[in-house]
Amino acid sequence: MRKVRRWMAMGVVAVLAAAACDRGDPYETEREDDPDDAPAQAVRRPSPPALPLSAADSAAAAARLAAKRDSLVATLGRVRVLRWREIWGLRRDKNAKQIAVAQSLGVQAGGEAGIERLVRQGRLVPLGDSTEYWVLRRMTHSVPYVTPDARALLVEVGRRFQAKLDSAGLPRFRMKVTSALRTDETQAELRKSNPNASRTVSAHEFGTTVDVSYERFAVPAGPRDTAAASPPVPWEMEAAMLEQTAKANGRPIQALLGRSIAELRSEGALLVMMENGQTVFHFTVARPFRKGR
């Protein structure tokens, strides 16, 4: 369980600087503009070493990349952003409602020993630093473990999100998960800096709840076009372009993620709050979600 210890240590050291996750939890924050809030481990498919390009090929590759960027921006411009009625629908599940459901469906880990015990029992599972559907951002006050139902729900959110991206002709951007399970150790540190921490319960304490950014998105896990191109554009260059373009044009991508979450809410699978204080969807699994249940 070395990963548990690593994440616990990171949370305890950094949590004193945290602010508000939502109005009910004013001490939980993952700042979207924090330059240090990078993915915990950016795991991507390895690309073969690029051969040196001539000056002419370099210029041609740059032109191809610029054309891809322009095409991407044009495609993003055709996606309808969230309307106020959609946003209102994503802001109806208040903190108290999510806490009540989290308490009924989740677990209480306590501290590191409790997490290890629940992992052995299969009642908590790791999120994974980087998957087909999400990457983890650096967490300051939580550890990357959730209940199996919550992880299955996150997979389904990612699957529907990427299906909508496919339909829109967009790359398969991934979600950035900013917060997951909180612990007694983290709570104790929070009590030192915030008087509300001693009397406020968070849905994050039960392993049923995650925060996902609606302003920043991770690039696809790797290039989808495996056909030979001449001159080739290195994946690292393309990934940088995708990240910058998504950052500058995030609202259409936000809309596709928001509609995926709204669908699952309408099916009774989750409760969600589209936060104001920070740019995340804060959602809790609302029913058993694993296959066969």
What's the pLDDT band for 60 if we cut at 50, 70, 90?
A: confident
The pLDDT, as a whole number, for residue 220 is 95
Q: What percent of the chain has pLDDT over 70?
A: 73
Which residue would you say has higher pLDDT here, 40 or 238? 238
What's the pLDDT band for 141 if we cut at 50, 70, 90?
A: confident
Give the tens place of pLDDT for each residue, 227-275.
556 667 888 889 999 999 999 999 999 999 999 999 999 999 999 999 9
The average pLDDT across 129-139 equals 93
pTM score above 0.85: no
Is a pLDDT exceeding 70 seen at residue 27?
Answer: no
Is a pLDDT exceeding 90 seen at residue 41?
Answer: no
Vertex 259 angle, CA 256 and 212, to 5°: 75
The pLDDT, as a whole number, for residue 2 is 56
CA distance between the termini of the chain: 29
Reduced 3-state DSSP string for the chain: CHHHHHHHHHHHHHHHHCCCCCCCCCCCCCCCCCCCCCECCCCCCCCCCCCCCCHHHHHHHHHHHHHHHHHHHHHHHCCCCCCHHHHHHCCCCCHHHHHHHHHHHCCCCCCHHHHHHHHHCCCCEECCCECCCEEEECCCCCECEECHHHHHHHHHHHHHHHHHHHHHCCCCCEEEEEECECCHHHHHHHHHHCHHHHCCCCHHHHCCEEEEECCCCECCCCCCCCCCCCCCCCHHHHHHHHHHHHHHCHHHHHHHHHHHHHHHHHCCCEEEEECCCCCEEEEEECCCCCCCC
Which residue would you say has higher pLDDT here, 232 or 219? 219
The pLDDT, as a whole number, for residue 50 is 54
Give the tens place of pLDDT for each residue, 152-202.
999 999 999 999 999 999 999 999 999 999 886 775 665 565 444 445 678
Give the tens place of pLDDT for each residue, 85-121.
999 999 999 999 999 999 999 998 888 889 999 999 9
What's the pLDDT band for 81 if we cut at 50, 70, 90?
A: very high
The pLDDT, as a whole number, for residue 138 is 84
